[in-house]
């Protein structure tokens, strides 16, 4: 069995809050830079997807006539109802 006092002393030495704080302070700048770079990539991907959806929506409207014009198109072109 281990000595409880010895175990507590080792834990205190290993997890010295002052040392942990210094280590994190040294790492914080690099961590923040990596986070900002990752977030910038996420925003770029989101923007690309949104633009793609907008283009698809525009193409969809160009291919399919709007409902109010559909009836006029069907009357102007006999057999157009078979095309969909």
Summarised one tens digit per residue, pLDDT across range 34-80 is 999 999 999 999 988 888 777 777 666 555 555 655 666 666 665 54
In this structure, the number of other CB atoms found within 10 A of the CB of residue 65 comes to 13
Q: What is the 3-state secondary structure (H, E, C) of the chain?
A: CCCHHHHHHHHHHHCCHHHHHHHHHHHHHHHHHHHHHHHHHHHHHHHHHHHHHHHHHHHHHHHCCCHHHHHHHHHHCCCHHHCC
Residue 60 confidence (pLDDT): 61
Alpha-carbon distance 6 to 1, whole Å? Answer: 11
User: Averaging pLDDT over each range in 1-15, 25-39, 43-57, which range is the top one?
Assistant: 25-39
Q: What residue ranges do the domains of the chain occupy? A: 14-82
Query: In the predicted model, what is the mean pLDDT of residues 20-35?
Result: 91
């Amino acid at each position: 069995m281990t000595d409880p006092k010895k175990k507590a002393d080792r834990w205190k030495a290993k997890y010295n809050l002052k040392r942990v704080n210094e280590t994190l302070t040294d790492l914080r700048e690099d961590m923040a830079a990596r986070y900002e770079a990752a977030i910038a990539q996420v925003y770029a991907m989101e923007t690309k997807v949104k633009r793609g959806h907008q283009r698809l929506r525009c193409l969809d409207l160009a291919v399919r006539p709007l409902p109010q014009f559909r009836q006029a198109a069907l009357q102007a072109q006999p057999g157009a109802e078979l095309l969909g």
